[in-house]
Structure 1
Amino acid sequence: MQPDQLLPGALAIAGPANPPVPFPAAAIRADCGPIVIWHWGVDPLAEVGDASLALVLSRTARRADGRVAHADIVALLRHRPDALTRLLPPFGALGASPEGAEAVADSMGFQHIFHSDPGEGTVPLVSTSALLAARALDAQLDPMAVGIQSLLGWQLGGNSLFAGVKKLEAGAVVTLDERGVTLTKTSARRHEPISPAEAVQEAADLLRTSLNAVLDDYPDAVLQLTGGMDSRLLLSAIPPARRRGLRAMTLDVPGKGDTAIASMIAQQYGIRHDVRGLTDVAGVSAVEAWELCRIEATRLDAMADPVALAAQRIAERAFDQGVRISGLGGEIARGFYYVGRVRDRTYDRQDAARLAAWRMFVNEAVEPGLLVGEFAAWAESVATAQVHDALVDGGEEWFRATDELYLRHRMQRWAGATDLAVSVERIVINPMLDEGFLDLAYRLRPQDKVNSRFLGALQMELDPELGKLPLDGRPAPATYAAPSRWEPVTQLASTGKRFARKAIQRVQRGNRPPAGGTILAAKVVEHWRAESQVLRPLEELDFVDPSWVSRVLDGSVDPRPSSVAFLTNLIVATSDAG
């Protein structure tokens, strides 16, 4: 781990005055009663002179209608920290006084905050970095978390890679004082159902309010424009008069049709459109590739894909950073894990196992041989059981439970981690992660969301003209808003094609690499072969097969990008020097 590559953040501890932690060089110490806080890269909102401190841990603080003033954040931290969970993700804040400290996370848990176990015998701490928390607690790798990550590429729920280090639950408050760590859940869901017509109207009003407020606050904000539905919805929520001169960008990925559709839309509405490709990835040296991936693993707390993020960051170098409007979050309203005919039903462990094997373990899993056989078999069993437990936490009905699995696990632990990691370079605003929008999606029946019915209707409410233009490789949103009587047959045929692709992928025991990931991973392996001491930390891990590592180094095995990402994370997680 390289401390100076950590994201801006803080660590608060009610224990040893100087814990064995390699803090970033710019870290500032503040003493607040029984709590000692180190913070770096974030400016206090309140002075430390009265033994109090207030920190906003995210780049921005806003609701759908605009920015939230620092004075309001300080007041809420002191009197109503639970109210801060409603701010747009990612958002986090930490406040301290002579009585103790409190930290709060947004309703999606996108702002990653970690804490020690509330039980006795552990040092009470709160940290924005799981890596630093593990150093302070002298925590070892958690075998269950390692097994889960070897299959998913990310973590479930409150797991971290380290025993005794937990992620703060989405929409929760953690209190740190002389008594230890106390957790308070604050995010309450509305359960009353809503009609599709009501949901469409409320969602349209919310998105219009949000997009206008973003452009009022950041006139030069850039819309991430793709050929998909989510960015189309955001553009549609912007009044036509504000579209001319709007800035937009598209990452040109080979094999995708995003660029052609985005360019057509940009030309039609007078949008200033910037298109860049992935060509820079090939020009990176092996040494630089390893350094970039190691940095990203540090920023991701070794719990998401550093190869994919490094490749994305290389491609992003040519773009202006600033403020970015992203369509991340639209997936929540379309039933990401829905397969087959959607009707209310219960489920069992076999359903969970099938979902895990066919939809969750395919793209990010490490390849056979990397893990010792006994550990690999145990990891698959444990990870499948954990997926089932996560589904059970989401309710008794199958499709609603899969919605919760995607929303409360995949989104915060994968999308949240990567969204947070890029905040060093830019502010990312995701209007469809607003708690109000999530609430509407949650209250709809699965039958109202399946096959993008709700999002199609929302598109037609926002802008019917844009709704008639085709999507990348799919019909126009208008088709989803008013499906024909043949739609169930079409949906089943589409599901069959997806299953066929997954079946081939599973039989071939392959996965889908991220854009630019194959090239970058190959360069990382080239560096490993030239500097084999980089892999020395793996020798201490009894679940990694040393003969497989030897075959990688002698050139007889070229590992997948997912395996390179997994090993990079393990090296960063277990080595101070990296």
Structure 2
Amino acid sequence: MTRAAVLPGMLASNVGAVPAEVGAVVGTFSEICTVSETSTVSELGAGAVRMAYWGLSPTEDGCTLVLSRVARRSGRAVAGSEIAGLMRDDSRALTRLLPPFAAATLHDDAVTMVADSMGFRQLFHSDPQSPGAGTLSTSALLAGWARGAQLDRTAVAVQSLLGWQLGQRTLFDGILKLAPAAIARLGVDGVSLAEVAPAPAEPISLDRAVSEAAAILRASVEALLDDQPDAVLQLTGGLDSRLLLSAVPVSRRRGLHAMTLSVPGSGDVAIAGEIASRFGIEHEVRGLTDLGGLDPEEGWELCRDAAFRLDGMSDPVALAALGVAERGFTQGVRISGLGGEVARGFYYVGRVRDRPYTRADAEKLAAWRMFVNEAVEPGLLTADFADWGREAANAEVYAALRRGGDEWFRATDALYLRDRMQRWAGATDTAVGYRRVVVNPMLEPDFLGLSARLTPQDKAHARFLATLQLELDPELGRLPLEGRPSPAAYAQPSLWDPVAQTLHTGQRLARKAIQRARRGNRPPAGGDVLAQKVVQWWRREPHTLDPLGATDFVSANWLQDMLAGTIEPRPSSVGFLTNLIVATGGPQPDRSAGSS
């Protein structure tokens, strides 16, 4: 077996020594990355509070670690020396840097750790109310193992249905994710948190929001290209990447680098190719690698590696399949448009008007929009846990909505930003953040702030983003999107638009109804083949599943039937079990010393 990856990172403790689990994992499972090619664990501090780190180099002050490769604000890069100074004098200012960003420092016998405004760079801490040693870390797995933590059953239930986490839970009881814009401090007395609740959003008109958003994107994208002229735009047939291209002056588009991943059934390549040809963009297209010839052992290693990178809290099958496809692309600086859904009401369905909501609304949203694609199949969990787990997960969805306020559409916007983006997109971005630098101008705090200030009616049906597209580049705004009309059609709807939107909503609901009736979900691109390889490995080496024996919620009968070949599990089930195996297996010795 090859070594699974541990990302460069840190773990701080207040018990006077680096927990043995840190050395066991980092020394055995090492990530070869651009930051460092060593798996050595270094340590700062001489008293009770210590900070161990690996794969990173402190800034000039010798005690500050920049925990992300993205460090930008207001259209410029921020140097490590400036970050170190702010960590000492004004750490709150660092929460305004472009996500993903994080930093930690050891000063005055305490470790301070800072999260970005979205909590996008994943950071973790022990619950201040939990007994035992205090812990801060870039890895929930390491933090949980260091404390000998048990699984959080509510978190397991949520993940079995949703595929990722809500709020600040992790798979481990007593280990929490650091909240957006929060600052954690670990001293001899334990962990303390300084959190900031989102400020009430002052309303803004659509015209003003479009004007200000256009200025933000233009300044951010141009500054990035000034700093990184070889940056590559991730160009699709969708609206987000087109907005970012539109923020590039026409005079700078010729010779711009762009990439598109070709996925069967998608029209991204044709649309991206047409746009690239129109402006003289250097366009690279790669297809999904045929995984049919992959050895089952390598398939398992790829998924196990991905689970480590994701801290067991998102889909390792999807990440592993993407990683194979990415082998064909240069791993440099990327310009990404992920996150535009925040500005167009991802969870909106039906007529958009202000209204209150109940738990029944939350459960309907969960059943029809949230639990469909990533849920494990019936029978994998014991009947008692499955019944209890659905109730627990529904309660967590409702609680997440309540954190977003009393109005339904604004609450769903907050759910998307503070939960789905933070815990799903952020986990994936963190997992790849040391292989390639992904810069996303649409995550600028000021851009997201404009979105929060718009009414749901202005965001619905992509009205805001489509109008922004016309402001940035009307020519591109008249070209159709992949599988959808042009942005101009959304910005300037016809009299028939309400009818078309009703038809579109009905089609979406019909597809979801069929999916639920078939009790199936949608596998990630390449995920079905990769999941089959993993299952083949489990059947060849059933001892791989031994860590699941420590749980009382995975059905032993289902596992036996799966190993016997009478059940072919969904990719979502394979991903869920892979995460559990990694989380419950703890730091394991490398079976093949010297492998790479």
Q: TM-score, normalization: structure 1?
A: 0.97
Deviations 1:276-329 (A, max 9, x none): 101333332111010000000001000000000000010110011100111111
SS of residue paired to 2:59: strand
Q: Which structure 1 residue ranges, 5 or more long, are not aligned? A: none
Q: Against the structure 1 CA distance between its residues 305 and 4, is the aligned structure 2 distance closer, same or farther, given a 3 Å change threshold? A: closer
| SS of equivalent to 1:123 | coil
User: In the alignment, residue 544 of structure 2 is paired with which amino acid?
Assistant: V
Instruction: Report if the CA contact (8 A) 1:33-1:97 is conserved.
Output: no
Code of the aligned partner of 2:547: P
In the other structure, the counterpart of 2:588 is: 577
Alignment check: 8 A CA contact 2:531 2:571 kept:
yes
Bigger Cα displacement from structure 2, 27-36 vs 73-82: 27-36
- In 1, Cα distance between equivalents of 2:199 and 2:83: 23
Contact 1:2–1:298 under 8 Å retained in 2: no
CA contact (8 A) 2:4 2:308 kept: no
Equivalence map 1:389-428=2 (5 Å): 389-428=399-438
Cα distance between partner residues in 1 of 2:423 and 2:243: 25
Instruction: Give the Cα separation in 1 of the matches to 2:142 and 2:181.
Output: 23
Q: SS of the residue aligned with 1:21?
A: helix
Amino acid across the alignment from 2:60: A
- CA shift in 2, pair 1:395/1:187, >3 Å: closer
Rounded to whole Å, the distance in 2 between the matches of 1:349 and 1:2 is 47
Query: What residue in structure 1 maps to residue 129 of structure 2?
Result: 119
User: Match for residue 148 of structure 1?
Assistant: 158
Aligned to 2:50: 36
CA contact (8 A) 1:297 1:569 kept: yes
Distance 1:18 1:102, change over 3 A: closer
CA displacement at 1:369 relative to structure 2? 0.5
| Paired letter, 2:579 | N
Matches within 5 A, 1:23-172: 23=23, 24-25=26-27, 26-31=40-45, 33-48=47-62, 53-119=63-129, 121-172=131-182
Task: Tell me, in whole angstroms, the C-alpha distance in 2 between the residues paired with 1:519 and 1:82.
Answer: 46
Deviation at 1:485, TM superposition (A): 2.2
Once the two structures are overlaid, the 10-residue window that deviates more, 385-394 or 95-104, is: 95-104
Asked if 1:340 is matched to 2:354, the reply is: no
Map 1:305-324; keep pairs closer than 5 Å. 305-324=315-334
Residue 189 (structure 2) aligned to one of 179, 193, 215: 179
1:515 pairs with 2:525 = yes
Equivalence for 2:308: 298
Are residues 39 and 437 of structure 1, via their aligned partners in 2, closer, same or farther at CA, if it must alter by over 3 Å?
Answer: same
Following superposition, the deviation at residue 539 of structure 1 comes to 1.6
| Structure 1 residue corresponding to 2:368, chosen from 335, 358, 366 | 358
Residue pairs, 1:238-277, within 5 angstroms:
238-277=248-287
Q: How far apart are residue 20 of structure 1 and its match? A: 3.4
Instruction: State the shift of 1:33 in Å.
Output: 4.3
CA separation in 1, counterparts of 2:545 and 2:94? 43
Deviation per CA, 1:77-120: give whole Å up to 9, x if none. 00111110111111000011133111001011111110011126
> 1:392 corresponds to which letter in structure 2?
R
Letter in 1 for 2:518: Q
Partner of 2:31: none
Tell me how far 1:190 sits from its aligned partner. 5.0
What's the counterpart of residue 564 of structure 1?
574
Separation (CA, whole Å) in 2 of partners of 1:389 and 1:2: 41
How far, CA to CA, are the matches of 1:236 and 1:98 in structure 2? Answer: 48
What is the identity, as a one-letter code, of the residue corresponding to 2:9?
Answer: G
Letter in 2 for 1:351: D
Matches within 5 A, 1:168-207: 168-186=178-196, 188-207=198-217
CA distance in 2, matches of 1:402, 1:283: 43
Contact 1:10/1:128, CA 8 A, preserved across alignment: yes
The total of aligned residue pairs comes to 574
2:4 and 2:581 mapped to 1: Cα distance?
Answer: 17
Letter in 2 for 1:5: A
Instruction: Tell me if the contact between 1:89 and 1:433 (Cα under 8 Å) persists in the aligned partners.
Output: yes
Question: Which residue of structure 2 lines up, in the alignment, with residue 21 of structure 1?
Answer: 21
Aligned to 2:36: none
Deviations for 1:546-576, whole angstroms, at most 9, x for unmatched residues? 1110111111100000000000000000113
Question: Mean Cα displacement is larger for which, 28-37 or 385-394?
Answer: 28-37
Q: Work out whether residues 42 and 54 of structure 2, in 8 Å CA contact, stay in contact via their aligned partners in 1.
A: yes
Q: Distance in 1 between matches of 2:2 and 2:126?
A: 22
Counterpart CA distance in 2 for 1:46 and 1:34 is 24
Q: State the secondary structure of the residue aligned to 2:201.
A: coil
* 1:370 has 2:380 as partner: yes
Out of 208, 214, 230, the residue aligned to residue 220 of structure 1 is 230
CA separation of 1:67/1:535 partners in 2, compared to 1, >3 Å: closer, same or farther? same
State the TM-score, normalizing by the size of structure 2.
0.95
The question of whether the paired residues in 2 share the 8 Å contact of 1:172 and 1:187 is answered with: no
Give the drift of 1:62: 0.3
- Identity across the alignment (%): 59
Alignment root-mean-square deviation, CA: 1.4
Distance (Å, rounded) in 2 between the aligned partners of 1:34 and 1:490: 65
Cα displacement string for residues 14-45 of structure 1 (whole angstroms, at most 9, x for unaligned residues): 11424231431221111154410110111101
Q: Which residue of 2 aligns with 1:477?
A: 487
Where in structure 2 are there 5+ consecutive unaligned residues? 28-39, 590-596
Structure 1 range deviating more: 372-381 or 278-287: 278-287
Q: Distance in 2 between matches of 1:452 and 1:32?
A: 55
Deviates more, 1:159-168 or 1:28-37: 28-37
**Which whole-Å CA distance do the structure 1 matches of 2:469 and 2:444 have between them?**
18
Match of 1:525 among 509, 531, 535: 535
Q: How far has the Cα of 1:189 moved from its partner? A: 2.9
Secondary structure of 1:412's counterpart equals helix
Distance 2:47 2:498 in 1: 63
C-alpha distance 336-32 of structure 1, shift in aligned 2 (>3 A): farther
Determine helix, strand or coil for the equivalent of 1:318: coil
| Separation (CA, whole Å) in 2 of partners of 1:327 and 1:108 | 15
The offset of 1:577, in angstroms, is 2.4
CA distance in 2, matches of 1:561, 1:188: 36
Q: Partner letter of residue 409 of structure 1?
A: D
**Cα distance in 1 for residues equivalent to 2:89 and 2:49:** 19
d(CA) in 2 for partners of 1:148, 1:128: 22
Task: Report the alpha carbon displacement of residue 4 of structure 1 after superposing the two structures with TM.
Answer: 6.2
Contact 1:82 1:186 in 2 (8 A): no
Give 3-state SS (helix, strand or coil) of 2:347's partner. Answer: coil
Partner of 1:435: 445
Q: What is the Cα deviation at residue 2 of structure 1?
A: 9.3
